[in-house]
Each structure stands twice: as structure tokens, then as C-alpha cells.
Amino acid sequence: MNSVQFTAQTSSNGVVERDFTVGGVTGALWSPTPGTGRAPLVLMGHGGGNHRKSPAMLGRAQRLVAGGGFHVATIDAPGHGGRPRTEHDEREIAVMQQAMAVGEPVGPIVQRHNAHLAERAVPEWQATLDALQELPEIGTDGPVGYFGLNMGTAIGVPLTAIEPRITAAVFGLFWPESLARAARQITVPIEFALQWDDEHIPCESGLTLFDAFASKDKTLHANAGRHKELPRFEADSAVHFFVRHLGGAVTSPA
């Protein structure tokens, strides 16, 4: 089994940020200031074309550490954040950019390529979780959450479907065709975000994916606005969700 290799560390506003690798996969871990004891772990999956320390990841990590006292981990998806792209990745990205350039629907291509990336990313997440749980401040007996939208949902849904250590998850902004089957295997509490006026994912498609989750405890948050207009306050809502389900403590107003 691969262990966590820390490669850099910074600290600000009561949050410690550590870059790490597990096997060849690059990741980042945000934690409360040391000495606060064990805390639950939230895994975060970034969106397509982004990386482990994109602004969205940094903002959500800050909120989760400050608002819930959690450890928060991200890893770069295959072909993202400096990780090498395969020839297959390059071809698919070219097809996607071509579709966008001529105004054709990107949904079918995004779904196909994200499903392919998920096949590679799910075992990487499981190996990363194995390694993170070896850290004394995380441990093997604490609860684990998953938080990812867009491609973070395309990877997180199949991951959560087969990974019993994940006991609560926040998903959103994806199509049902490639994910409904895995969603029907998920029974842990979920919160699911969609945009009511999404120009890429028809509202009905998002509702269909939400409906597919087998979870008895599930909440849909649908906001007016287009695909990229998800309100910032949904990140605060996710913190409250994980505090309810992972047992963190709200340590500051959020």
C-alpha cells in the first residue's frame, strides 16, 4: 500500500495546507491547526479542466475547516493539475472544444469522457483514502464525506456507490444517463444541487438524477440561474450538511 508523502506545507487563518502525493497522484490536505484531535474527513472532487487547488476547492476547504473542523482532501483527476494526459484524453478534449466552438451540445462528450476518467479516478481515490486514514489525525474509524460537482459528481457517484467508508455526500450539476445506475446503489444521505436555468443540463435531467438516488435522506437544492451561476451560499449549506452527518462542530458563523 502507498502511504502519504507530504511535499509542501503552508498555514494561514487557522488552516494548515499540505500538498501530498499517494503513488503518482498529487493531492492537497487542509486541516485545522494541529493539536485539535481527530476530526472527520471530507474528500472533494474538482470540476473538469480544474485541479486540486482551484479557487472553488480553496474556498470550500476553508469553509469546511473553519465551519466544521474537518480535514479536507482533494486529488488531481487523471489528466488534470499537471498530471499527464493520454492520447485518448487529448482526442476527447479536442472533440469537446470543437463542439463548444460551433455551439453543439457538449453533454454527450462530457459524459463519455468523464465516465472514462472516473474508471481511472475511483481506484486512485480509494488508494488515497487508504493512505489518509493511516495518518494519526484522521484514523480509520472516523466518518468520511464526499463533496464534488460537475466532474466531481461524475467521479464521486461511482466512488460513493462502491465505497462503504463514505457516509454522506454532496453532488450536483450532472446528467443522469451515465450516472443513474450508480446513483441507484447509493443509500447514504445526499444533498444534490442543480441550476434551474442550466443551458447544458436540462432541469428535467437533473431532477431525474436526483430521483435516482436510493437514499432515504436526500435533499435537492435547485437555484435559479445558468450552469455557472451556482450561488456561493451552497458551499455554506454543504458545510451544514456535513456537520449534521459527520458530526463536526460549527466553530464559527457560516
The SS3 of residue 178 is coil
Nearest to a second copy of 105, 225 (CB atom) = 225
Nearest to a second copy of 138, 201 (CB atom) = 201
Our finding on whether 130 is near a second copy (CB under 8 A) is no
Candidate list 217, 226, 228, 247; residue touching a second copy; CB under 8 A: 217
CB atoms within 10 A of CB 135: 18
Is 45 exposed, middle or buried, given 0-12, 13-18 or 19+ CB atoms closer than 10 A? Answer: buried
CB atoms within 10 A of CB 43: 27
* Cell, residue 6: 507530504
Least distance in angstroms from the C-beta of 213 to a second copy: 8
Our finding on whether 240 is near a second copy (CB under 8 A) is yes
Candidate list 14, 107, 108, 231; residue touching a second copy; CB under 8 A: 231
Applying the rule CB under 8 A, the residues between 180 and 209 that interact with a second copy are 196, 207
The SS3 of residue 182 is helix
Our finding on whether 212 is near a second copy (CB under 8 A) is no
Nearest to a second copy of 94, 214 (CB atom) = 214
What are the CA-CA distances from residue 101 to residues 81, 94, 106 (Å)? Answer: 24, 10, 10
Binding residues vs a second copy (CB under 8 A):
196, 207, 210-211, 215-224, 231, 233, 236-237, 240, 244, 250, 253
